[in-house]
Amino acid sequence: MKRKGHDRSGPKTVAAPDKPWHQLTYEELCRALIAGPQGLNRREAEERLGRFGPNALRAAEAVPLWRRLLAQFTDFMILVLLAATAISVFLGEMADAITILVIVVMNAVLGFVQEYRAEQSLEALKKLTAPEARVLREGHEMRVAAHTIVPGDLVLLEAGDRVPADLRLLEVHDLEIDESPLTGESLPVCKQPEPITAAGVGIGDMDNMAFSGTSVTRGRGCGLVVATGMQTEMGRIAHLIESVGDDMTPLQRRLDELGKILVVLCLAICLVVVAIGLYQGEPVYRMVLTGVSLAVAAIPEGLPAIVTIVLAIGVQRMIRSRAIIRKLPAVETLGCATAICSDKTGTLTQNRMTVRQVWLSGERVDVSGQGIEPVGEFFAKRHLFTVEAGGAAVGTARGTGTAATGTGWADLDDLLRASVLCNNARLTGGEPSRSRKDVPFWGRRKKNGGEVPASDWNLMGDPTEGALLVLAAKGGFLHQNVEADFHRVEELPFDSDRKRMTVIVRDQKGQMMAFVKGAPETVLSRCAFVRWNGSDVPLDDDRRRRILDANERMADEALRVLALACRPLPAEMPVEKLMEIAEEDLTFLGLVGMMDPPRPGVRQAVERCSQAGIRTIMITGDHPATALAVARELGISSRSDEVLTGACLDELNDRQLEDKVPRVAVYARVSPAHKLRIVRALKSRGHVVAMTGDGVNDAPAVKEADIGVAMGKAGTDVTKEASAMVLSDDNFVTIVTAVEQGRAIYDNIRKFIRYLLSCNAGEVLVMFLASLMALPLPLLPVQLLWVNLVTDGLPAMALGVDAPDPDVMRRPPRHQKESILAGGLGRNILIWGTYCGLATLAVFAWGIYLGDLPLARTMAFCTLTFFQLFYVFDCRSERYSIFELGWFTNPSLIGAVCLSGLMQLAVVYLPPLQRIFQTVPLEPTHWLVILCFSGGWLLLTGLRHFILRPFGQRDGGRALYGQ
């Protein structure tokens, strides 16, 4: 059949309609958009994307790279240095001028490269968190990046989706959309597909339109894209791009405040040094340049920027571990997490549901087979059913010797048929699918002209519904064949509050039937009859008890249990009336028990959380017995732990719930509203909570949590936007890995702060003490700038990529409001800053004693530099010495230190650089003194390590400096 609007001889542009989109009929829409029921093909989509541009709001103009490089020279201290360079030229000090200028340029380039890397990391993060949309192209449903959608695309919507562009709706099923971001309307709007002929209709009354930026709260549907990007209603209003926030994180703000305090302190000391030098008769030019150079070397002006870079590097590491950080503050909060609330299905388990048991007519039926390939057997006491993959009529009842359609057991056949009809999943493969006029056009599937290899099975849709399709196919009921005989009239979608799904179908004889599936307790409460050995009999107390006992037994075996039911409906009754009675006086068909095995590594991850002082809490909608069985298998729950159900939660007030949460590790049969209460109760008890979610109703709890975690595969767009982190693999192990990385990132920031502030304190102290002692300047301005360049650059950055400490997940979480200098960090900075300053001053004094000022300055210059290059190894951990961590476990640091050391040797031994930096060659005896003062403490730490190691003790070197 020829598709409308796709004739290659027809018009090549999308026609502008003569009237508004909401007034057009389906045929008029297809003509205007040159679109059809199979969607666009790839070539047309690419051509339209080039013509209409990306489906994105206009972004701010990018800052050119050259302007960003120049911005590195706008810092106040850099401007002062450039002014000093100009003065040097004016005074004829060309060597000083060129040296200062080269160092300033090198610093600017280094800063530019670091900031560029950080920005590229954040841009990559934005791309990873970009929204996606489901479209139909060439008859195939596929997920594409929302920015690639073009006018004429056929977009599929379901609850939890963010509407990617302005759509004219074509078909809806209980579709409700939250349009508050656009109209301010607080309640969701019910949608319908019919044209609106009235004139002057406002946006809020366009019930057949779906607008970009709004979100689907209920139901499903589809529509044709009529506007993208800045042509959408949202684009006309906003003119702004939605992006990951650029504000500083709380840690960056605290460090910025600390930096300001240090700036004031350093400037005061620098002024004192300059004043004393002038008082002692030093030249004004040299002292002014010395003061500026000391300020540049001492003030940690790049501290917030370095933190951003370390955060960005950490974020990239997390991305490689399949944890996508949407909001940078989450990186800091991860290290404080004390409780992880996780859903069971798909996060703790594999989300590959497979039906293991069926219970009907008082009999248990075991089902074999793995995965989504519909090959397996049904085992019962009275029957053995052997079924080929997707076979239509191969079941044989044991002892009868007669072939029958399906399995040959009528009760089982009815249950399998209901599993197919009350279902929105699609199992394709094995045999070609027949096209059917009564199936919505977005539900049709084609592949290789309808010919699919028998082994090529593909499951699309909810895993639970998919497991039911596979079960039915094992019994000979392929959904293509069953649905060919039934036309779906209406659907009541599954709702987490109702805990059931209902469909109404009409068979080829015109008979109307309702099929229901859902939680056993919920479905059973609406049943008046039960299918028992081929007859519908009243559901008396005895049979109700037997059904509930079977449900309990299946749940005790860690099976997720669903009930199926049906009822005939009067054919002449209007659909609205049918919907009112469709879930009343049902006939119970049976129970289906399916298993979702735990993900590999989850039990070990739960153990790691326990060692790290983090509680793992399971929150699920499953039966309490099922939830408890899985929790005990994974080590989440012990025999003494309490299981709290949604019904029990409803009986507790907030204070009572707060008293209960310390003893509860498993919550079962809960709704999204319960999840929100649980999160709030945990937070009120002082916990820092990470909360996982996927459905649209999970969004409030995910947003309320300190760390909202959305599922990348199963999660809805609304939940992802409410989250701080997205798991691209929906795996609990990834959360634990992210917590470890969060702790490691915070540790690396502390390492950098310790290194930077200790070294800066040493530089300031040596100049300050020399001034007080009326000694000559230990370091010249160019030497100070050089030390700052070679030590605060590459070695400091290498600390940002250091591996976590071995015990990073064996220590309790830090407090969220803990100072960055807590845990003895401030004390260590003072101790090692003082040692650095005194050691450098002692070497300088010894050089003065030898009677050679250039030699003394060169030795002090090298002592200060090499102390910092040695000290960076000690900063790798606050708990372990470098001998325990290993010298070569951070290759980046080894390379950075070696390069910085070679640069320092170059200024000492290369004659051209000797003249610039006013250094002299050093002899072995000089180096012996320098190395003893700059690295002697490291030798003492090593000796202590090797002395204590035979006795099985940890390195006691920490005691040398108060750790």
Q: State the catalytic residues.
A: 343
Taking alpha carbons only, the member of 672, 719, 728 closest to residue 162 is: 719
Report residue 330 as tokens: 């989450």
Name the E strands within 61-149.
Answer: 132-137, 140-145
Q: Which residues of 889-926 are buried (b: 16+ CB within 10 A; e: fewer)?
A: ebeebeebbeebbebbeebbeeeebbebbbbbebeeeb
Radius of gyration of the chain (CA): 35
How deeply is 438 buried, as exposed, middle or buried, from its count of CB atoms within 10 A (0-12, 13-18, 19+)? exposed
Contact 785, 860 (CB under 8 A): no
Q: Say how far apart CA 438 and CA 432 lie, in whole Å.
A: 18
DSSP at 11: -
Q: Which parts of 383-478 fold into alpha helices (H)?
A: 410-421, 463-474
What is the full DSSP assignment across 780-797?
-HHHHHHHHHHHHTHHHH
If residue 592 lies in a helix (H) or strand (E), which one and from where to where? strand 586-595
**CB hemisphere CA count around 59 (13 angstroms):** 13
Show the tokens assigned to 691: 């909360």
Which is nearest to 696 in space by CA: 219, 78, 159? 159
Which residues touch 432 (CB under 8 Å, ≥6 apart)?
450, 451, 452
Q: Which residue has the tokens 């562009």?
A: 165
Taking Cα atoms as reference points, which of 107, 611, 660, 626 lies closest to residue 353? 626
Contacts of 872 by beta carbon, 8 Å cutoff, 6+ apart: 755, 791, 795, 796, 798, 799, 893, 897
How far apart, in Å, are the Cα atoms of 56 and each of 44, 145, 210, 235?
19, 11, 17, 8
What is the token pair recorded at 362? 């008082």
d(Cα 446, Cα 832) in Å, to the nearest integer? Answer: 71
Beta bridge partners of 364: 359
Q: Are 31 and 4 contacting, i.e. CB atoms less than 8 angstroms apart?
A: yes
* Length of the chain measured in residues: 963
Q: Show Cβ contacts of residue 274 under 8 Å, excluding neighbours closer than 6 positions.
A: 287, 288, 290, 291
Q: Under a CB-based contact definition with an 8 Å cutoff, are residues 560 and 353 in contact? A: yes
Measured distance CA(504)–CA(576) in Å, rounded: 11
Q: What's CA 606's distance to the chain center, in Å? A: 19
Cα 899 off chain centre by: 37
**Cα gap 700→718, rounded to integer Å:** 10
